[in-house]
Chain A
C-alpha cells in the first residue's frame, strides 16, 4: 500500500511521540542517568559512636539520658514497668541488652541504636526522602513532612532500627539521630548516651577518629576482641557507629550482612532503568507491533460487521 506524504508525516509524528516523551522525562529526571552504583563513601565530617562492649557495665544510664535528651515519654510497654522495654520502639531509641549463655559461663552487654549506615537501606527505600542523610555529618534523620508511613524503612533495615508508632492518627518513625536536633539547637555538645556513660563504653566523635581509636585498642590488646576487627568499618557498606566486642558479633545483635551495602542489591535493577532507555525502547517496540496488529484487527472487525450486521467491539 503506497503511503501519501500526509500519512508519512502522521506516522513520523506518532512515532516520535515516545521519543519526545523520553526526552522530557530524562531532562526532568537527570538523576536517572546516575543510577549506576559506585561505592559510597562517608562524608568528610561523618560523626558516629564507638561502643566497646567489653567496657559496658549494663547500668542503662544511657537509656535514661537518651529519653531525656530526646524528650521521649517513659516507655511502659512491658506491663507498665518503667523504662524496661524488650526492644527498640517508638519510645526507645537506645537500649542496653544482655547476651548470656544458658549456663551463665559467658555474657556480654550490648547497646542497640541506629548504625548510621554510610549507604542506608532505609534511606534508599524511602519514597520521598522522609529519611535522609545529613550531607555534613552523615547522620540519618527523619523528616515527618515527607514520610507517608509506609514502613518500608523497617523492611529495608538489617539492624531492625526504625520503629513505627503503631498508635494514634499521626504516627512517626522513630530512630536514633545522634541527638542531631538538640545539638543543632545548641542545647548539648554530644548525645545523651555518650555524655553519661560512666565507663566510656560508648564515645562520640568523628568516624575517622573513632576508627583510629578502635584499632589502637585492638592493637594494644591482642586476642581480646572478636576477629580482631571493628564491626561497621566495612560491614553493610560501612556504618558510622562502630562496635568492638569480645563475644561474636552475631551474639550481640550485629548480623553478618557482608561488606556490600543493602541498597547495592538493587544495582542490576538500576542498570535496567538507566536513562529510562530500556523501558522507552520497549514501549516504542510494543506500540509499533500493537499499531500494526491494531490496523489488521480493525479491518477484520469491519469485515465481520458487513457479514453479521452487528456493531464491532474494540
Chain B
C-alpha cells in the first residue's frame, strides 16, 4: 500500500486502443443522429417525448443525473479547501476532470435537446432574464461554472504538460500558473458557490411540476435534497474512477484517502436519508411510503440502494477493494435513480401518458457519455490527473525520458515562493 503524494500520468500504455476506436464509432453515430435530430425535429421516431412528457432522457439523464455524478469537483473541493481536509488534495484533479466532462457534455446535450437554440443568446442580455425561473438560474450558473471556475481549475495539469513537454510554451505556462495562484482562492470560492446554486435549482425545477410529482419526492426542500444528493454522488464518482484506475492500469491505491472519502460518503448519505424521512414525516405524508403502490416500492428501492451501500461502506468489509467498489457503484445507482425519479418515474404527467426513450435518444445520450469517457481516457494518459506516489512519478519520469529524449520530468523547477 502506498501514499498518494502527487498526480502522475498513466504511462507506458498507448492512447489509441481498441476501446478508443469503439468509443469513436459510438460518438460518430451519435453525432450523425444529432444532425438528423436538428433537421427533422423531435417528433415521430426521433424521440419518445410527447406533450405530457416534454422532457426526455437528454435533460433528465444527461443533465439532471450526470451533472450530479459530476459534482465531485465541488463536493471534494469544499471538503479539501474550505474544511481543510488535507488528504483530499491528492484526488482533486480526478474530481475536477470528471466534473468538467460531465458538465460540458451535459450543456451541449441541452443545446441539442432544446427546440429553438438560436434564441439562447438572450442569456447575455440581463434585462430579458426572468429571475423567477429556476431554469434561468441553471442556464446562467451552469454555463458560467463550466466555462470559468471549473475550466480554470482544470488548467494546471495542462500548464504542467506545457512546462515539461513544450519548452517553447514554458514561459507562457509558468506565467499563467503564477497568475492563477494569485487568485486561486477566488476561483475555488466561485467553483463552490455556483454548483451549490445550480445543483439545488435542478431540484427547484420540479417544484413547478406541482402535485404531478409524487408527494414522496415533491417538497419545498427538493432543492436542498438535490444538492445534497449531488455531494454523495460526486464522492461515489471520484472513488469509482480511482478504483477503476487500479483495475485498468494497476495504479496503486492509498487506503487512507479512500477511507476518508468513504467516511464522507457515509455521513452525507446518513444525514441526507435522515433529513428526507423527517421531512416527509413532518409534512404528514409518511404513510405514503406504504400506500402509493409501485412509487412506494421505488422509494424503498432508492432508500435501500443508497442507505444499504452507505452502511456497507461504514463497516470493516469496505476495506476490501471489491466491496468498496460495489458499495459505491450501488450507492451511485441509488442516487442517480433519486435524481431521475421526480422528472420521470414519479412524475404523473397525465392519465395514460407514458415515456420511453427512442433508440435515437438512447444512442445520442450514450454517445455524449462516450465523449466524456474518451476525453477522460486521453486526459489521464497525457496529463498528471490520477494520484500516485513520488516513487511512481520517478518511474514514470524514467520511462518517459527514455521514450522522448530531451524532456526532463524531475528536478526541473527552481524552488520558489
Contact = CB atoms under 8 A, between A and B. Distances in A.
Interface of A: 14, 17-18, 28-29, 31-32, 35, 87-89, 121, 123-130, 144-152, 154-156, 158, 160, 162-171, 255, 257-258, 262-263, 265-266, 268-270, 273, 279, 282-284, 286-287, 289-291, 293-294, 296-298, 300, 302, 304-306, 308-314
Interface stretch (B36-44, B255-263, B291-299, B313-321): B36-44
B135 A147 contact: no
Nearest to B116: A149
Contact of A286 (B82, B128, B134, B211): B82
Most buried by B among A152, A168, A262, A312: A152
A269 B207 contact: yes
7 contacts: A129-B128, A156-B209, A164-B51, A170-B116, A258-B211, A283-B190, A297-B89
Contacts of A129: 128, 130
A interface: dominant SS? helix
A149 B384 contact: no
Interface string B19-44: 00000000000000000001111111
Given A151-B54, A290-B188, A306-B415, 4 more contacts: A14-B186, A149-B116, A150-B113, A286-B192
B417 interface: yes
Give 3 nearest A-B pairs by CB, closest first.
A149-B115, A166-B43, A149-B116
A268 B220 contact: yes
A297 B86 contact: yes
A14 B183 CA distance: 9
Interface of B: 5-7, 38-44, 47, 49-52, 54-55, 78, 81-84, 86, 89, 113-117, 119-120, 122-123, 126, 128-136, 139, 156, 160, 163, 177, 180-181, 184-186, 188-190, 192-193, 196-197, 200-201, 204-212, 220, 223, 349-350, 384, 390, 393, 410-413, 415-417
A270 B49 CA distance: 30
B129 A263 contact: no
Given A124-B130, A124-B132, A313 B81 contact: no
A287 B186 contact: yes
A29 B126 contact: yes
Given A262-B208, A304-B5, A128 B41 contact: no
A290 B188 CA distance: 7
A127 B133 contact: yes
Given A160-B51, A289-B84, A298 B181 contact: yes
Contact of B134 (A88, A160, A269, A287): A269
B130 A88 contact: no
B410 A310 contact: yes
A290 B131 CA distance: 30
B192 A88 contact: no
B132 A313 contact: no
A293 to B, nearest CB: 5
A281 B390 CA distance: 39
Most buried by A among B6, B44, B49: B6
Contacts of B131: 29, 31-32, 35, 273
Contacts of B209: 155-156
A203 to B, nearest CB: 28
B208 A124 contact: yes
A110 to B, nearest CB: 14
A114 to B, nearest CB: 13
Contacts of A294: 81, 184-185, 188
Contacts of B115: 148-151, 164-165, 171
A221 to B, nearest CB: 30
B89 A158 contact: no
A63 to B, nearest CB: 17
Contacts of A166: 41-44, 47, 49-50
Given A286-B82, A313-B7, A313-B384, A125 B135 contact: yes
A269 B223 contact: yes
B43 A310 contact: no
A164 B131 CA distance: 23
B305 to A, nearest CB: 26
A158 B82 contact: no
Most buried by A among B82, B113, B192, B412: B82
A258 B215 CA distance: 14
Nearest to B141: A279
A246 B5 CA distance: 75
A239 to B, nearest CB: 14
